[in-house]
Each structure stands twice: as structure tokens, then as C-alpha cells.
A and B are shown apart, each in its own frame.
Chain A
Amino acid sequence: MNPVQIKPGLMINNKAAISRKLKEIKLDYDWIETLVTNPASETLPDDQVDHDFNREMHFYRQAQASVLESLKRLHSLNVPTKRPDDYFAEMAKSDQHMLKVKKALAEREAVLGKIEKFKKLRKEKTMAKMKQKQVKVSKIHERKELAKKVANYQKGKDKSLDFLNDKPKKDGKPVKKMTKKALHKKKVYGRAGGQKKRSKYNTAESAADVSHFKKGKPKAKPKSARNRKR
């Protein structure tokens, strides 16, 4: 918005009066009485004024510079600056209010965490979808290639049928990774799903297996044990 043009007659800048007034009220005390510092700070470009974060950082940096400067000066004057832990006094904000602040902070952080989590989930989902699409495309591609080769063979261009052996096994299902639940079931019942019927039948292999037989003669029981039994 354009500023309104003020008539030059209405604009007042009485420099003599201003400097006279300044001289009148100026107090010539030591620095420790006033604690005023003017740290050299970078200027913020005009277009950054409406940028909240940059503006606040500008103020923060100015404050930081003057804190460092003044604390150094205070230390050199041997003035205690830091409040000891056992020094209790009334604070500007009450404990009740500070509790509220803490709670609000925790809530804000929780919300941010949630947003982060959802973002991650969404990303994973889109990635999975992309992968699925790729698999689909590659399958179609493979099928087409195969059809092409078969057609070539039928036409007599290719003479060998080797490509049929090269093709990936379709019947061999990929080994499924066992879920936690399945693992647990296997641990408890010895199997996870599948048919139980006929699962305990002997087969030729199991009948021939004698690995669990003990080697050597069975030992005779000691006398004392026999006595005890009686």
C-alpha cells in the first residue's frame, strides 16, 4: 500500500529541540546501572520482514550477541550472573502456567510425531504400489517374449526349444517368510497350518531311518537299584 503523502508543512523534525531534550534527560551512570548494549548486527533485507522465522531469528541473534557481550563484562566486574540452584524466588510466570506450557509443548511434539509417522506410512504404501506395478509389467513382458519365441519356432526361424528350459519355474511358489504367529504355532504344535490327517504315517524313508537307535548293549541295572525296587 502506498503511504499517504503528508504535507511538508505538517512534518516536524526539530533536531535542535531533540538533541536539547536528549542532553536534559541523559544519565551519566556506569554501564552496570543501565546494562545497555548495542551489538553490531546484520541488517535484515526489507522483503524478509514478513517472513516470520527469519525475522525472529534476526531478533534472536541480536539478543544472543548482547548476552555474550554483557555477561563477559559482568564477569569481568565480578558480578554474579547465574542464579544458584538453591536460590528460590518468585518467578515471572507461575509454576501452574509453566506446567501448562510444558503440556502444550508435549502435545505439539506428539502431533508432529504423528504427522511424521503418517508421512512415512504413505511413502511406504506408494513404494509398494510402484513395485507391484513393475512386477505386473515385467510379467506381461516375459509372457510376450515367450509367445514371440514360440511363434519363431513354429515358423521355423528357431530350431531349438532350449528357451522352454530357461524359463523361470512357475509352479515353484516362492518360499513364504514365516510370520511371527506361524513361528509360534510351529514351536507349540510342531506345525503351522496344513493338513494334520495322515501326517504321522510312516513313509519308506522314516521306516528306514534308524539314526535314533542307541548303539551298543543295554546296561544291566545295578544291584542296589534292584533291591530298592523290591
Chain B
Amino acid sequence: MGKRKRGNKQNEATDKEPEKTENQNEVLFSDDLLKIRKTEWINRQRVMVLGARGITARDRHLMLNLRTLMPHSKSEPKLDSVKSDLFSDALEICETRNCNKCLLFINKKRKDSYLYVANVPNGPSAKFMIENIHTMEELRLSGNCLRGSRPLLSFDPEFDKTPQLSLLKELFSQTFGVPKHHPKSQPFFDHVYTFTILDKRIWFRNYQIVGEEGSLAEIGPRFCLNLIKIFEGGLGGPVIYSNPGFVNPNVRRRMLRQQASDKYKDKVVIREGRNKKKPKGEEYQDMDPLEIFD
């Protein structure tokens, strides 16, 4: 058996030899390689990852994590513009930097983080509230991956059930997915993004593929997106969908405060009622309540 196998291998080797020599004659320069890559690099997505002034450290770290994971992203300094000019400035930057996708981080009151995922300049764009941010720097997340390797994208089947979610799926797959043959990407597959719908929110996770049999380790970042609105244009324009389940964080906080104050008010009312029921007057003062039974 062994002998025969060896013989076969030799045959194969001799068969392959002429091809090899042909290849050797053909000297490939890095420019040629680039040309091949350029022709095969069809899916040209460029994502502008931007933060507006006022984002917190946590938001910034999340933004930087996304930049390291996405070789097709481009960066700019924080947008320092007036509220009314924010979107138009962002659009201008995207245009000058040749970007067709944009991730814009905004923070309000240094409490509420928002994310715009936009297809620029023609739209659509979606506005999310980001909840539960965990960055890649957290020591609990023990996985690691190549910088710029292409992620596998895993979407919850729920995404195909409603039109707004399938629109979001397309938007996410184009922004977060690394294009094939992107010059800065790596040729191996060692991590997977999951987008899952739970509790009417979209949960994002990034796992390292440790073994090909399916063992994973989380790399991070983690976050949870709560959809607010979908706009027709790139960063703005008419609203085509608004999430009925979304509660404005200000309203939410007010309700919580209201609940706390209601608790106190109820207590006061009960106390007053009890005091009213208590018998008053001189004739009741020395009365032994047990006398009634005599």
C-alpha cells in the first residue's frame, strides 16, 4: 500500500512540474498583484466612522474598536459643528473622502449615545440608541483575531420577517462586512459577527473562531441597538419608519422619577388616612379600648 501511494505521489509531482515552471517564468511584481486585486475587488464599500463632539470615552472606545475591525473604514477628527450643521458637515466629509457608508456617533447629555448607520448620499439611514456598550479592551473578552480579516455575518432569521428589518440587514451587511479582496484585508476567516433580535433590540456580538469544529471566544465589542427611526435620505430626510416600542430616554427617566415620587406620595396619603380614623377628643383619652367588651 505504502509503496503504491508513494508512486502515485511521484506521478502527481511530475504532472505538476511543467505548470510550476511556467509560473516561474512569469515574474509577478507587487504592482501586478495589486492590479489583480483591483479587478477582483468589486464590492467597494468605504465607511466613514465619525464621532460628534460630546461623545463619552466609552463611545470613543467603541468607535475606535470598530475602526480597527473594519479595514474599509476611514477616520476623521471629531465633528465640531453646530447642531444644525452636523449632518450636512458629515455628508460633506463623506463625499470628500469617497465614502458611501457612514457610522456617526452622537451623545446627548453625556448619558445617551446614538448611532446613525447611513448609506450616503442617497439614503436610507437609520438612527439607533446604543445601549450596553462593552469595548474590546475589557479583560473578560479573551478572544483575538487578525486585524482586518473578513468577518462572517450571522443574522437572526427574524431579520427577513419585516421589511424594515430586512432593510437594516442589507445596511449592516454592507457597512460591517469587509469587502472581498480589500487591499487591507486578510485572506483568512477567524471571526464572526452576530446580529440578534431580542427584546425588540438588535444585539451585536463578535466572536473568534477558535477551532473549526465550532468553538468560539468572544472578542468584543458588545453593544445593543434600539432602533428609533429610519430616514429616506442619507443622514436625514423624510421618516419612513419609526419604532413604536422606543421610549425616549428623557421620558423614561421622568417616568422613573415619577414612580419614585408616587411611592412617597402614596405613603403620605395612607398616613393621613390613618390619622383621620384615630378617635380624638377628651372623652376618648382615658378610655380603655377593652372596656367595650365588659
Q: How many angstroms between the C-alpha atoms of A25 and B159 in the bound complex?
A: 16
A12 interface residue (CB < 8 Å to B): yes
A63 adjacent to B232 (CB under 8 Å) = no
A63 adjacent to B170 (CB under 8 Å) = no
Chain B, interface SS category:
mixed
Binds B, one of A94-102, A154-162, A185-193, A219-227: A94-102
Q: How many residues of B contact A (CB 8 A)?
A: 76
Q: A14-B240, A89-B147, A90-B146 are in contact. Are A36 and B173 (CB under 8 A)?
A: yes
A63 adjacent to B194 (CB under 8 Å) = yes
B154 adjacent to A66 (CB under 8 Å) = yes
A178 interface residue (CB < 8 Å to B): no
CB neighbours (8 Å) of A35 from chain B are: 150-153, 177, 189
B207 adjacent to A60 (CB under 8 Å) = yes
Q: A34-B177, A38-B156, A63-B205 are in contact. Are A11 and B196 (CB under 8 A)?
A: no
Q: CB-nearest residue of chain A relative to B187?
A: A80
CB neighbours (8 Å) of B239 from chain A are: 12, 14
A4 interface residue (CB < 8 Å to B): yes
Partner of A67, one of B123, B174, B214, B247: B214
Q: CB-nearest residue of chain A relative to B165?
A: A18
Q: A11-B244, A35-B151, A63-B192 are in contact. Are A41 and B212 (CB under 8 A)?
A: no
Number of residue pairs spanning A and B whose beta carbons lie under 8 angstroms apart? 186
Q: A29-B43, A59-B196 are in contact. Are A92 and B68 (CB under 8 A)?
A: yes
State the Cβ distance, A77 to closest chain B Cβ, in Å: 11
Binds B, one of A68-76, A135-143, A163-171, A204-212: A68-76
Partner of A1, one of B42, B140, B180, B255: B255
B147 adjacent to A55 (CB under 8 Å) = no
Q: CB-nearest residue of chain A relative to B143?
A: A93
State the Cβ distance, A229 to closest chain B Cβ, in Å: 75
Q: A35-B177, A38-B155 are in contact. Are A101 and B241 (CB under 8 A)?
A: no
State the Cβ distance, B35 to closest chain A Cβ, in Å: 19
State the Cβ distance, A82 to closest chain B Cβ, in Å: 6
Partner of B219, one of A12, A46, A59, A92: A92
Partner of A92, one of B147, B203, B247: B147
Sample of 14 further A-B pairs with CB below 8 A, known A62-B196, A92-B144, A100-B139: A1-B256, A4-B247, A12-B229, A18-B240, A21-B167, A25-B124, A29-B42, A33-B179, A35-B152, A36-B169, A38-B156, A41-B196, A92-B136, A104-B140
Which B residues lie at the A interface, using CB under 8 A?
A: 42-43, 68-69, 119, 122-124, 136-137, 139-142, 144-148, 150-157, 159-160, 163-164, 166-167, 169-171, 173-174, 177, 179-180, 186-190, 192, 194, 196, 198-199, 203, 205, 207, 209, 212, 214, 216, 219, 229-230, 232, 238-242, 244-245, 247-248, 251-252, 255-256, 259
CB-defined A-B contacts under 8 Å, sample of 9: A33-B42, A35-B177, A37-B155, A38-B159, A63-B194, A66-B154, A67-B207, A82-B188, A91-B146
**Shortest 3 CB-CB distances between A and B: which pairs?**
A66-B154, A104-B139, A17-B240
